[in-house]
Chains A and B, each alone.
Chain A
Amino acid sequence: MDGYGMQNQIACIRRSLFDQGYLDEQFIQLEELQDDANPNFVQEIVTLFYTDSTRLIQNIELTLNSRPINFSKLDDYMHQFKGSSSSIGAKKVTSECAVFRQYCAAGNAEACIRNFQHIKQEHAILRKKLEFYFQMMGQAAVAQTR
C-alpha cells in the first residue's frame, strides 16, 4: 500500500541518514521526545535550528571576512553553533565545528575559512536531507489517513 510503501521508504531514508553519519543518537532522543502531546517536535526543533543557525552562519561569515579576524568572537559563535547542532544530532556538522574550533584556537585564519566552507556544506546537505525526510513523513501521514 502506499502508506506502507512510504513508511518503508521513510525508514530507509532515516536509516541512511544514520548510517552515513549525518545524524547521531541525539536525533533519536528527539524522536523519543515526540509524542502525542508534542507531535511535531522533531520537525519543530530542526526548523528552529536551521533558522537560528542561519543567523549564526551569517555572523561567522562576517567575522571571518573582517580584518583582523576576531578569533575569540569566532570561537564564541562556533561554540554556540556546535552546541545547537549537537543538540539536534547533526553529527557531521558538529564534528566540523570541533575542527573549526581547533583552527580557531590556533589562530589559523586560512584553515578556519576553509573549514567553514565545509561546515556550510554539511549544514546545507543535512538540511536538504532532513527536509526531504520530513516531507516524506508528511506524505506518508497523509497517505495513511486515506
Chain B
Amino acid sequence: MRVERVISDENDSFPVGMRVLAVDDDPTCLLLLETLLTKCKYNVTTTSQAITALKMLRENKNKFDLVISDVHMPDMDGFKLLELVGLEMDLPVIMLSANGDTKLVMEGITHGACDYLLKPVRIEELQNIWQHVIRRKKFDRKDRDGSGSQDKPYIDSSEAAGLGNVDHNGKFNKKRKDQNEDEDEERDENGHDNEDLSTQKKPRVVWSVELHRKFVAAVNQLGIEKAVPKKILELMNVENLTRENVASHLQKFRLYLKRISCVANQQANMAAALGSVDSTHLRMGTMNGLGNFHTLAGPDQIHNAAFRSFQHSGVLRRLNTPAGVGISGLPSSGLVQLSPVQNLGNTSTYQRKLQSFVIPGNHNANILQGMPMSLEFYQLQNNRAASHVGQFPSVDNTTVLPVSSISGSLIDAGCSNSPLLGVTSNSLLLEGSSQLPTLHASNLRDSVSGFPNRSTLSDFTSIAPASNQLHGSKADIQDQAFPISCNAGKIISSAPQDWNAPKKDAPYQSNVPSCSINSLRAVNGDMAQLGQCLDQNNPIFNRNVGFDFVDPLSIKCSEGENLAMEPSVIEKEGYLMVQPSRQGIYIPDNEGENFAMEPSVIEKEGYLIVQPRRQGSYIPGNLGSLEDLASAMTKQDHDKGKPTDGDFGYNDYSLRTCI
C-alpha cells in the first residue's frame, strides 16, 4: 500500500513521500506516470499544462522536491519550463520524451535537466530519481549553514558521510547561491571563509585556488566526459573533501565551462579583433571558457591551461547546460588567439550552453544567446568564433567584439537585455576576450574605448550571466585568468579564466600589463566604475583572498605571476572569476576557487563581469553604471531571496563586489 507520504523531504523516510510534480499534456502518459510515481511511494501532483505547473511552483517554492516534465507540450516548450524552473526555483527537473534523439537529449542537458527519460518510462527508472533531489540538496546545504542536510538520515550514501566531514578545515565552501553573505565572506578570504562558516554546523567547503586547481587537474586527467565526483575525489586526494563537495563543485564547474565557452567565443573574437592581444591574455578570459570547452574535448586543443579548463567545460557543458560555457571562450589571449578556432569551437558549445543556460528568457546575451542548446550551436559558434577571431563577430548571438570593439560589442551584448544570463555572457565574453587581448595595455585600450559608454554596465551585467556561464567552465576560467583583471578596473570576467588556475598559462597575466586595465578604464566611465566597483573588495568576487580587485594599476605586471594574482572576483561558486589580476592578467589560480561559483561580475576595472544570478537574478541590462549593475545584481539576489553565492548561479553580487 501506499505508505506514509512524507511531506518534507527532510523526513527520515525520504525518498518516500518525495514530492514530485509531473507535467505532461498526454493524459495517458500522465496517468501512467502518476501511477508509477505513486508506486515508488512518492507524493505526486500532476498537471497537464506547463503553465499551471509553473504557477504551482511559484506559489510555493518549497512545495515540491522534483519536477518531471514532458518535452513536447502545446502550451510551453518543455525546455523552457525546465529553464524557468531551474532558474527560479532551482529544483531538479527530469525531462521525459518519446523522442530520444541525441540532439534533444543534449538540449535537455544544456537546459539544465538532471535527467532525460524516454517514454514509455519504466518504474525502475523512476525509482532512483530521488537521488537528484538529494544531490542538489546536499550541495546546497553544504553551502548553507548546512545544518540540516548532513543529518538527514536517509542519506546513507557516502554523501551523507561526506557532509559530515565537510567542516574540517572549512576549506571547502560551497558557494551557495542563496548565501550571498557567505559568499561574500568567502570571497574575501580565500581561505578564511571557513572560519565564518565554521561556526555553522556544516562547514563549508572553500574551494580555494589550490583546491580548485587540483580539481581541475583531476578533471582534466579523467577527461571532462568521464569526470565523476568519485574519481575526481580520489585523484584530488584531499582530506576532508567529500564526494558531494566534489560533485557539486563539478556541477558548477560544468556550468562555468559552459558559460565560458560562450564568453570565450566572444572573447576569442574579440581577441581576434584585437589582433595583437596576447593570446594568452585572451585566452584567459573568455576563451578559456569556450576554448576550453573544446579543448576539453580534445586535450590537445587546449594548449593552455586555460584551455584545459575548457575542456572540462566542454564536458561540463554537457552536463550543465547552462550556457555558461560561452564564457569559457576566452582564455588568456594566448588561447584565444592561439586557437581561436578551438576556442571557438568550444565557445560555441559553451556559448550554446551558456545561452541555453543563461537565459531562460533572454537571449540577448550575445554570447549566451548564441547558444542554442544543441550542439550544433556550439559548432556554429565555433565556426563563428573562428571567423570572429579576427573580428569578433558576435558569436552566435553573442557579440564578440573585437577587442577594440569589444567593449562595444560586449556592451551590446550586455545590453541586450537578455536576462542577465544572456547578457552577461556576452559581457563576460567581452571581458574575457577583451581582456585577453587587451591585456596588453594597448589592446585593452582599444577595446576599452571601444566600449560604448552607454550601458556598458548593462552589458556587463549581461555579461555577468555570461560570466556565470563562464564559471561554468570553471576550468576554463582558471586558465583564463582574465586579463581583465590585470588592469585596473578591468572587469575580469574572469569567470572563464578562473577556472583553471590560469596559472599555467596565465599568459595574460604577464602580458597584460596594467595597460590592459587602463585601456579598460578608458572604455568608459562606467566601466571604470565597474572596475572600481569590482575592485572594491567585492567580497563576492574575490573569493580568493587577496585579490579583491586589486587596483589594476597597482598590480604589477608580473607576468607569470598573474596566476597568482589576485584572483579577481572569483565567484564563490566559481563562477565569477573575475580576478583583476594585478597584471591585468587573469589569475588563474585564484580562479580555481572562484570558478566554482556563479559567475559574478568580475570587474576589475572595466570589466565588469557581472554574473547574473542564475536564479533569476536578473541584472538589468540597462545599468548605466557598474554600480547600478552591482546593485542590480545585489538586488536581484535579494529579490530572489537567494544569496548569490548559491550554486553557480549568476551571482548578482558579483557586480557588487566588483567595485
Contacts and interface: CB of A to CB of B under 8 A. Distances in A.
A19 interface: no
B29 A84 contact: yes
A79 B119 CA distance: 11
Nearest to B32: A87
B28 A29 contact: no
Interface in B113-144: 119-123
Interface residues of B, number: 22
Contacts of A76: 72
A26 interface: yes
Interface string A12-51: 0000000000000010011011001110010011001100
A96 B254 CA distance: 40
A60 interface: no
B26 interface: yes
A104 interface: no
Nearest to B122: A29
Interface string A83-127: 110111100000000000000000000000000000000000000
A83 B32 CA distance: 11
Nearest to A80: B26
B35 A38 contact: yes
A83 B29 contact: yes
A62 to B, nearest CB: 16
A79 B31 contact: no
Contacts of A32: 123
B27 A52 contact: yes
Contact of B31 (A26, A44, A80): A44
B72 A36 contact: no
A83 B31 contact: no
B119 to A, nearest CB: 5
Nearest to B119: A83
Contacts of A89: 120
B477 interface: no
Interface string B20-60: 00000111110110011001000000000000000000000
Contacts of B120: 26, 29, 83, 86-89
Contacts of A80: 25-26, 72, 98
Interface in A69-87: 76, 79-80, 82-84, 86-87
Contacts of B122: 29
A141 to B, nearest CB: 21
A38 B2 CA distance: 10
Contacts of A30: 32
A122 to B, nearest CB: 16
B147 to A, nearest CB: 37
Nearest to B74: A76
Interface in A117-146: none
Interface in B67-89: 70, 72
A82 B35 CA distance: 20
B72 A49 contact: no
Contacts of A52: 26-28
A37 B1 contact: yes
Interface residues of A, number: 25
A30 B1 CA distance: 17
Contacts of B199: none
Contact of B98 (A26, A48, A83): A83
B28 A49 contact: yes
A140 B340 CA distance: 73
A134 to B, nearest CB: 16
A48 B39 contact: no
Nearest to B29: A87
Interface string B441-481: 00000000000000000000000000000000000000000
B237 interface: no
B98 A86 contact: yes
Interface in B592-632: none
A76 B97 CA distance: 12
A86 B119 contact: yes
A7 B425 CA distance: 66
A71 B453 CA distance: 49
Contact of A33 (B27, B36, B98): B36
A83 B26 contact: yes
B72 A48 contact: no
A51 B111 CA distance: 34
A52 to B, nearest CB: 5
B62 interface: no
Contacts of A48: 27-28, 31
Question: In the complex, which of the residues B31, B70, B72, B121 has the most CB atoms of chain A within 10 Å of its own CB atom?
Answer: B31
A88 B32 CA distance: 8
A37 B122 CA distance: 19
B28 A79 contact: no
Contacts of B36: 33
A26 to B, nearest CB: 5
A33 B26 contact: no
A138 B239 CA distance: 64
Nearest to A29: B122
A84 B30 CA distance: 9
4 closest cross-chain pairs (CB), A and B: A83-B98, A84-B28, A87-B120, A49-B28
25 contacts: A29-B123, A33-B32, A33-B39, A36-B1, A37-B2, A41-B35, A45-B28, A45-B31, A45-B32, A45-B35, A48-B27, A52-B26, A53-B28, A79-B72, A79-B98, A82-B98, A83-B29, A83-B70, A83-B120, A86-B98, A86-B120, A87-B26, A88-B32, A88-B120, A89-B120
Given A33-B32, A45-B31, A52-B28, 16 more contacts: A29-B123, A32-B123, A33-B39, A38-B35, A45-B35, A53-B28, A76-B72, A79-B98, A80-B25, A83-B72, A83-B97, A84-B26, A84-B29, A86-B120, A87-B121, A88-B32
